[in-house]
């Protein structure tokens, strides 16, 4: 089953609660929450208080993507706030194995994200230990960017390795995905799709989710 995980980075923050409720009502499978610290990426976004607040109004799995330096410092905080999946960047943590185990110690699923220019090969030793790998198809830090086409090859490479070592792996792709390219991303091997602008565009959440799902 292909899951859609809309990124609330593109939501209307003046009515975030309403948008979160709409995502669940109109068929989103998860909610993607981009956490940025202004150091690992230039932008600053959501933190634990926002996650804790919207946790009260949604039963969907919270897919929390930590684009922050030294993420191990905050794992417990995000777990307590309501994260279901916690994803850290390969590029931001020098002790991946330790941090993955730490995430799982709180009963949460653990993921690793890699930037567009980071090769899949860096994940081969740890792929059996994680629940999800997130391939960034834009450079992290901002919404509304265009899809980087060479990441399709990375998705295919990861799918082959996952089939051999971790068949239940969630392969998530984030960045620039819309109705025009979602099928290519899924055909390459992705089974969790993050979409921000494509979901919240023109405040037509129901229509946009339906269009994306029809394109798979």
CATH number at residue 118: 3.20.20.70
Is 89 labelled a binding residue?
no
Domain count, the chain: 1
- Please identify every stretch of the chain with a pLDDT value under 50, giving residue numbers as ranges: none
Q: What is the pLDDT of residues 119-148, one digit of tens each?
A: 999 999 999 999 999 999 999 877 778 999
Sheet holding 109-114, edge to edge: 3-6, 192-195, 170-174, 132-136, 109-114, 85-89, 61-67, 30-36
| pLDDT (0 to 100) of residue 141 | 79
Q: What is the pLDDT of residues 4-30, one digit of tens each?
A: 999 999 999 999 999 999 999 999 999
| pLDDT (0 to 100) of residue 63 | 98
Of the listed 37, 63, 93, 174, which one is catalytic?
Answer: 174
Find out whether 11 and 195 touch, Cβ atoms under 8 Å.
no
Helix (H, G, I), strand (E, B) or coil at 195: strand
Q: Taking each helix axis from N to C terminus, what angle separates 16-25 and 205-215, rounded to the nearest 10 degrees?
A: 40
| pLDDT (0 to 100) of residue 58 | 97
Is 34 labelled a binding residue?
yes
Is 176 labelled a binding residue?
yes
Of the listed 29, 34, 37, 63, which one is catalytic?
Answer: 34
**Residue 12 CB coordination number (10 Å):** 12
| pLDDT (0 to 100) of residue 142 | 73
Helix (H) or strand (E) holding 82: none
The residues near 91 (Cβ < 8 Å, ≥ 6 apart) are 40, 114, 115, 118
**Structural domain boundaries, residue 180:** 3-215
Is 37 labelled a binding residue?
no
pTM metric for this prediction: 0.96
DSSP 99-145: HHHHHHHTT-EEEEEE-TTS-GGGGTTTGGG-SEEEEESS-TT-SSP
180 catalytically annotated? no
Q: What distance in Å separates the CA atoms of residue 121 and residue 157, rounded to the nearest whole number?
A: 9
Is 32 labelled a binding residue?
yes
**Strand partners of residue 6:** 195
Is 107 labelled a binding residue?
no
| pLDDT (0 to 100) of residue 7 | 97
| pLDDT (0 to 100) of residue 17 | 97
174 catalytically annotated? yes
């Amino acid at each position: 089953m292909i899951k859609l995980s809309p990124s609330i980075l593109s939501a209307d923050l003046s009515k975030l609660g309403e948008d979160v409720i709409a995502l669940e009502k109109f068929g989103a499978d998860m909610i993607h929450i981009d956490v940025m610290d202004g150091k690992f990426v230039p932008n600053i976004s959501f933190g634990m208080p926002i996650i804790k607040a919207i946790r009260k109004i949604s039963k969907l799995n919270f897919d929390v993507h930590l684009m922050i330096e030294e993420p191990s410092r905050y794992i417990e905080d995000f777990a307590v706030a309501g994260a279901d999946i916690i994803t850290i960047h390969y590029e931001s943590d020098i002790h991946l194995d330790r941090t993955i185990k730490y995430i799982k110690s709180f009963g949460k699923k653990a993921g690793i994200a890699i930037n567009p220019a980071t090769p899949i090969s860096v994940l081969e030793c740890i792929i059996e230990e994680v629940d999800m790998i997130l391939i960034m198809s834009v450079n992290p830090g901002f919404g509304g960017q265009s899809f980087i086409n060479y990441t399709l090859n990375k998705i295919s490479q990861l799918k082959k390795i996952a089939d051999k070592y971790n068949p239940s792996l969630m392969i998530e792709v984030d960045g620039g995905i819309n109705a025009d390219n979602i099928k290519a991303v899924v055909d390459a091997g992705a089974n969790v799709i993050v979409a921000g602008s494509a979901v919240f565009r023109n405040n037509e959440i129901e229509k946009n989710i339906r269009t994306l799902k029809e394109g798979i």
